Amino acid sequence: MQKLTQEAVQKRTFTKWINSHLAKHKPPLEVSDLFEDIKDGVKLLALLEVLSGQRLPREQGRQLKRIHWVSNIGTALKFLEGRKSVYRGSPIKLVNIHATDIADGRPSIVLGLIWTIILYFQIEELTSNLPALQALSNSNSSVDSTASCETGSPPMKRRVNNKFQGNAKKALLRWVQCTAAKDFGIEVKDFGPSWRSGVAFQAVVHAIRPDLVDMEVVRRRNNRENLEEAFALAENELGIPRLLDPEDVDVDKPDEKSIMTYVAQFLKHYPNPQHSEGDGQQDEVLCSSLPFSQSKEERKMLRELKVFLDQLERDLLRAQAAEGSLTDKYQAFKNFHVQYEMKKKQTDQLLQPVHKEGKLSVDQALVKQAWDRLSARLLDWHIHLDKSLPGPLGMIGAWLHRAEMALREDIPLQHVHEETANVLHRKLEQHKVKCLHTH
């Protein structure tokens, strides 16, 4: 019965997580029944687009047949397997996850796939940017995770994912222990029973915004009250989507994956305070070295830049969807490109690694993700505009579009050198000039 409960909690948590991202899609999308709504692969591809900033090809329409479903899911799986795990440095392996199983809506396979996406795009991506945790991540020891594969992962997949999950999991757990638990003497040794009382959630909120939580009051309240208030504070004051309900956590064996998914969201909001004094012991050194040697001013500039880039992306998407002539569209694109170029130098300076191993801070990683996403949107728009040109110019644009799609299939967008984009742009300009001379 516990297993069924965990599967139901996972389904609900993962659905809320997906919807928090699909709300950013253009147009916004929503999943109501995860196992049914993922079958045609359309929303799965939309989720990956939002997370990566890349555009993925798809079959879509009201009369999609199963062959189209499988094609869409296959595209999503191929895209995922082309990504590299930050911890392992090797491509993600999706063992025993087949497009036909997703098209059938098999619960354990669907949950296993979504968990892999969450693990890579949220938990691993964010925790890998905590430099003091690299030693832990590269060690052979692992956190006990007997509950980690009980639901949502097919048996064949457990062996492959354990190291991947273990490293990201250790990093996230150490972050909690160093930033929240140690200040109040709270023992957080897992992502299960340690969270049942709600005190750990309250401590994490306190680590980000101390003014929101009175830990003395927290210690006197019951589990449900603490959980409810922590989730409400996180949602209303920090803007963290509410993925869990008190009844999901106040059980003998809370679902580990659901708690990890929720807790990882707090990493984006952690303020990276100044160094604390260490006493020479290993844990204290790890905890005190979690923050980066960035000034308050640099962190403030990074956060302001992130807000600017997010707003520019939203404005860009609105401008793309607006009515107007091709000339108007090109002018709008040019205006956005000017703003983009004006921020490029500042962005490059702020994204210089502050750690000797070349790792970025959490704030830097978030800015880099926003920058890569915006770069992808601008490139997409430029190609679309060029493709829309009349006559021979449009043919050149279409050729460029196919070339770009081929590039994207083989190379993640953020790895495409700027020089490549410049070469393509120069070629287009040359073709435009030739075509204008021939008319």
Tell me the angle at which helices 391-410 and 362-387 cross, rounded to the nearest 10 degrees.
150
Residue 288 placed within a domain: no
Q: Tell me: do 223 and 248 sit in the same domain.
A: yes
Residue 140 placed within a domain: no
Q: Tell me: do 303 and 347 sit in the same domain.
A: yes
What is the 3-class SS of the chain, one letter each residue?
A: CHHHHHHHHHHHHHHHHHHHHHCCCCCCCCCCCHHHHCCCCHHHHHHHHHHHCCCCCCCCCCCCCHHHHHHHHHHHHHHHHCCECCCCCCECCCCCCCHHHHHCCCHHHHHHHHHHHHHHHHHHHHHCCCHHHHHHHHCCCCCCCCCCCCCCCCHHHHHHHHHHHHHHHHHHHHHHHHHHHHHHCCCCCCCCHHHCCCHHHHHHHHHHCHHHCCHHHHHHCCHHHHHHHHHHHHHHHHCCCCCCCHHHHCCCCCCHHHHHHHHHHHHHHCCCCCCCCCCCCHHHHHHHCCCCCCCHHHHHHHHHHHHHHHHHHHHHHHHHHCCCCHHHHHHHHHHHHHHHHHHHHHHHHHCCCCCCCCCCCHHHHHHHHHHHHHHHHHHHHHHHHHHCCCHHHHHHHHHHHHHHHHHHHHCCHHHCCHHHHHHHHHHHHHHHHHHHHHC
Instruction: Name the residue type at position 367.
Output: V
Residue 10 placed within a domain: yes
Q: Tell me: do 12 and 122 sit in the same domain.
A: yes
Q: Tell me: do 314 and 396 sit in the same domain.
A: yes
What per-residue confidence (pLDDT) applies to 87?
67
Q: Tell me: do 346 and 246 sit in the same domain.
A: no
Q: Tell me: do 399 and 349 sit in the same domain.
A: yes
Q: Tell me: do 383 and 423 sit in the same domain.
A: no
Q: Running along the chain, 439 residues long, what does each successive block of 10 average in pLDDT?
A: 72 97 92 96 95 87 88 94 75 87 96 94 80 43 34 37 64 87 84 96 92 92 96 95 95 95 90 41 44 65 89 90 86 90 87 69 84 90 81 63 55 45 60 56
d(CA 254, CA 145): 13
d(CA 343, CA 337): 10
85 C-beta neighbours (distance < 10 Å), count: 18
In this structure, the dihedral spanned by the alpha carbons of residues 234, 238, 239 and 243, taken in order and rounded to 10 degrees, is -20
Domain end (from 269, 304, 332): 269
Using omega within 30 degrees of 0 as the cis cutoff, is the peptide bond preceding 27 cis? yes
Q: Tell me: do 263 and 334 sit in the same domain.
A: no
Residue 419 placed within a domain: yes
The number of domains in the chain is 4
Domain end (from 110, 129, 148): 129
Residue 161 placed within a domain: no
How much is the CA Rg of the chain, to the nearest whole Å? 23
The structure tokens listed for 404 are 């770009």
Phi, psi of 84 (to 5 degrees): -105, 140
Q: Tell me: do 14 and 117 sit in the same domain.
A: yes
Q: Tell me: do 303 and 206 sit in the same domain.
A: no
d(CA 107, CA 426): 49
Domain end (from 236, 269, 302): 269
Cβ atoms of 412 and 373 within 8 Å: the answer is no
Q: Tell me: do 239 and 316 sit in the same domain.
A: no
d(CA 302, CA 368): 10
What per-residue confidence (pLDDT) applies to 60?
76
Residue 160 placed within a domain: no
Residue ranges making up the domain that contains 179: 166-269
Cβ atoms of 117 and 48 within 8 Å: the answer is yes
What CATH code is carried by the domain that includes residue 218?
1.10.418.10
Residue 326 placed within a domain: yes
What per-residue confidence (pLDDT) applies to 392?
67
Burial class, 145, CB count within 10 angstroms (exposed 0-12 / middle 13-18 / buried 19+): middle
Q: Tell me: do 235 and 184 sit in the same domain.
A: yes
Residue 231 placed within a domain: yes
